[in-house]
Amino acid sequence: MSGAGDGVVGWITALKKGDLSTRHEAEEALQNLGEGAVEPLIQAIREEADTDFRWYAARVLARIGSPAIGHLIRALKGEKDQQVRRYLAASLGEMGEAAIRPLLSLLSDPEPEIRGFAALALCRVGRPAIQPLSGALADPDETVRSCAALILWQMGEDGMDALGKAFTAGDGDPKKAGHDETGTH
């Protein structure tokens, strides 16, 4: 089965209904379509309850990378279905370093669930997120500081080391860590 004749819609159908080989072909084709495939993939994740399909679609979005980030952030913030949010956040987390700053910006979102999904994605990014999260410990927003500390803690040994260093450098107050005598970074 090939989706080439139907463009994005055909490849999404192949991703839903194809055998393993066809699904891999569809993944590659959708990735190559880039940003033009992003919104249709997000919509398909919303509409299709099949977890296998959602996983494949999320994987394609992650492989599209940077061009998908803004779309995924907007979709994550606008979506109310927790399962859909989970796949959108997973896509962002799989993108790695490119998604760190946009995910950090979600730590100040007024909706706790958005902050939680951003935290999950940042944990999935792993080590590359540690330094930016350590910097967020000095953010003026208490919610951002708390989220950053909890995420670092959740990341295990590497995150705990960074958290300990921030508290040590700031005399027990991470807001002071990394500031010079004028109070700026």
Enumerate residues 6+ apart whose C-beta is below 8 A from 146: none
| pLDDT of 168 over the 60 cut | yes
Q: Please tell me the least confidently modeled range out of 70-79, 107-116, 162-171.
A: 162-171
Q: How confident is the model at residue 18 (pLDDT cuts 50, 70, 90)?
A: confident
Enumerate residues 6+ apart whose C-beta is below 8 A from 120: 86, 89, 90, 93
pTM of the model: 0.82
Q: Which whole number is the average pLDDT over 86-113?
A: 95
Paired tokens of 137: 């410990």
Q: Would you state the pLDDT for residue 139?
A: 93
Please state, in angstroms and rounded to a whole number, the distance separating the CA atoms of residues 68 and 66: 5
Q: Would you state the pLDDT for residue 6?
A: 66
Q: What is the CATH architecture of 4-96?
A: Alpha Horseshoe (1.25)
Which amino acid is it at 74? R
| pLDDT of 174 over the 70 cut | no
> What are the start-end ranges of the E strands in the chain?
none
